[in-house]
A and B are shown apart, each in its own frame.
Chain A
Amino acid sequence: MEERKVSKGIPVGTRRVISYIVLIFFALLCLIWFYILLINSTRSHAEMTKGFTPIPSTHFLDNWTNLVNGTIPILNGFINSFIVSGCVALLSAYFSAMTAFAIHAYEFKGKRAAASFILAVMMVPGQVTALGFIQLINRMKMDDTLFPLILPAIAAPITYFYLKQYMEANLPMSLVEAARIDGASEIRIFNSIILPIMRPAMSVQLIFAFVGSWNNYFTPALILHTDKRKTLPVLIAQLRGADWLRFDMGQVYIMIAASIFPVVIVYLVMSKFIVGGISSGAVKG
Chain B
Amino acid sequence: MNKKSKATRVNRWGYIFLIPFFLTYVIFQIVPLCSTIYNSLFENFRSGLKQIGPNFVGFANFAKLFGTIDFWNYFENTLLMWVGGFIPQIVVSLLLAYWFSDPSLRLKFQQFFKTVIYMPNLIMASAFAMLFFALFADQGPVNSILLSLGLIKEPFKFFASVTASRALIMFMNFMMWFGNTTILLLAGMLGIDTELYEAAEVDGATSGQIFFRITLPILRPILLYVLITSLIGGLQMYDVPQILTNGKGTPAKTTLTVIMYLNQHLTSKNLGMGGALSVTMFIITGVLSIVIFNLNKKKD
Q: Are B124 and A20 in touch, CB under 8 angstroms? A: no
Of the residues A40, A131, A239, A260, contact of B141 by C-beta under 8 Å: A40
Of the residues A96, A121, A134, A237, contact of B130 by C-beta under 8 Å: A237
Contact partners of A241 in chain B: CB under 8 A = 246
Contact partners of A263 in chain B: CB under 8 A = 122-124
Contact partners of B125 in chain A: CB under 8 A = 215, 217, 233
Q: Could you say which interface size class chain A belongs to? A: 35 or more
Contact partners of A151 in chain B: CB under 8 A = 24, 28
Q: Are A12 and B104 in touch, CB under 8 angstroms? A: yes
Q: Are A218 and B239 in touch, CB under 8 angstroms? A: yes
Q: Are A124 and B286 in touch, CB under 8 angstroms? A: yes
Using A2-B103, A128-B278, A236-B124 as known contacts, say yes or no to A152 and B35 having CB atoms under 8 A apart. Answer: no
CA distance A126 to B262 in the complex (A): 13
Indicate if A174 sits at the interface (CB-CB under 8 A). Answer: no
Indicate if B207 sits at the interface (CB-CB under 8 A). Answer: yes
Contact partners of B212 in chain A: CB under 8 A = none
Contact partners of A8 in chain B: CB under 8 A = 206-207
- Residue ID in chain B nearest A105 by CB atoms: B14
Indicate if B85 sits at the interface (CB-CB under 8 A). Answer: no
CA distance A155 to B20 in the complex (A): 7
**Cβ distance A123 to chain B, nearest Cβ, rounded Å:** 4
Q: Are B232 and A125 in touch, CB under 8 angstroms? A: yes
**Cβ distance A206 to chain B, nearest Cβ, rounded Å:** 14
Q: Are A125 and B285 in touch, CB under 8 angstroms? A: yes
Contact partners of B221 in chain A: CB under 8 A = 285
Indicate if B164 sits at the interface (CB-CB under 8 A). Answer: no
Per-residue A-contact encoding for B115-148, CB less than 8 Å = 1, 0 else = 1111110111111101111110001010011011
Of the residues B32, B122, B130, B134, contact of A136 by C-beta under 8 Å: B32
- Residue ID in chain B nearest A26 by CB atoms: B117
**Cβ distance B20 to chain A, nearest Cβ, rounded Å:** 5
Contact partners of B31 in chain A: CB under 8 A = 132, 136
- Binding-face segment, B45-53, B57-65, B66-74, B177-185: B177-185
Q: Are A108 and B12 in touch, CB under 8 angstroms? A: yes
**Cβ distance A136 to chain B, nearest Cβ, rounded Å:** 5
Contact partners of B24 in chain A: CB under 8 A = 95, 151-152, 154-155
**Cβ distance B38 to chain A, nearest Cβ, rounded Å:** 8
CA distance A283 to B232 in the complex (A): 19
- Residue ID in chain A nearest B288 by CB atoms: A123
Interface of B is mostly: helix
Using A102-B17, A108-B12 as known contacts, say yes or no to A237 and B126 having CB atoms under 8 A apart. Answer: yes
Contact partners of A95 in chain B: CB under 8 A = 20-21, 24
Q: Are B236 and A127 in touch, CB under 8 angstroms? A: yes
Of the residues B28, B36, B201, B263, contact of A152 by C-beta under 8 Å: B28
Per-residue A-contact encoding for B86-130, CB less than 8 Å = 1, 0 else = 000000100110010001111100011111111110111111101
Per-residue B-contact encoding for A192-228, CB less than 8 Å = 1, 0 else = 0000000000000000000100110110001000000
- Binding-face segment, A59-67, A68-76, A267-275: A267-275
Q: Are B18 and A279 in touch, CB under 8 angstroms? A: no
- Residue ID in chain B nearest A189 by CB atoms: B13
**Cβ distance A222 to chain B, nearest Cβ, rounded Å:** 7
Contact partners of A166 in chain B: CB under 8 A = none
Indicate if B170 sits at the interface (CB-CB under 8 A). Answer: no
Q: Apart from A3-B104, A30-B175, A278-B184, what 16 extra A-B contacts exist at CB < 8 Å?
A: A5-B104, A12-B104, A22-B99, A51-B144, A108-B14, A124-B29, A125-B281, A128-B33, A136-B27, A214-B124, A215-B126, A232-B124, A232-B127, A236-B243, A249-B134, A282-B187
- B residues sitting closer than 8 Å to A (CB atoms) are 7, 10-18, 20-25, 27-29, 31-36, 39, 92, 95-96, 99, 103-107, 111-120, 122-128, 130-135, 139, 141, 144-145, 147-148, 175, 178-180, 183-184, 186-188, 191, 198, 201, 206-207, 221-222, 225, 228, 232, 235-236, 238-239, 242-243, 246, 259, 262-263, 266, 271, 274-275, 278-279, 281-282, 285-286, 289
The 4 tightest CB contacts between A and B, nearest first, are: A106-B14, A132-B32, A279-B187, A102-B17
Can you name 30 A-B residue pairings with CB atoms under 8 Å? A4-B201, A12-B104, A16-B106, A19-B107, A26-B113, A30-B175, A52-B148, A95-B21, A108-B14, A114-B22, A125-B235, A127-B238, A127-B281, A129-B278, A130-B32, A131-B36, A131-B266, A132-B32, A148-B28, A186-B10, A217-B125, A218-B239, A233-B127, A237-B126, A241-B246, A252-B130, A260-B127, A263-B122, A278-B184, A279-B184
- A residues sitting closer than 8 Å to B (CB atoms) are 1-6, 8-9, 12, 15-16, 19-20, 22-23, 26-27, 29-31, 33, 36-37, 40, 48-49, 51-52, 95-96, 98-99, 101-103, 105-108, 111, 114, 118, 121, 123-136, 148, 151-152, 154-155, 160, 180, 186, 190, 211, 214-215, 217-218, 222, 232-234, 236-237, 239-241, 249, 252-253, 256, 259-260, 263-264, 267-268, 271-272, 274-275, 278-279, 282-283, 285
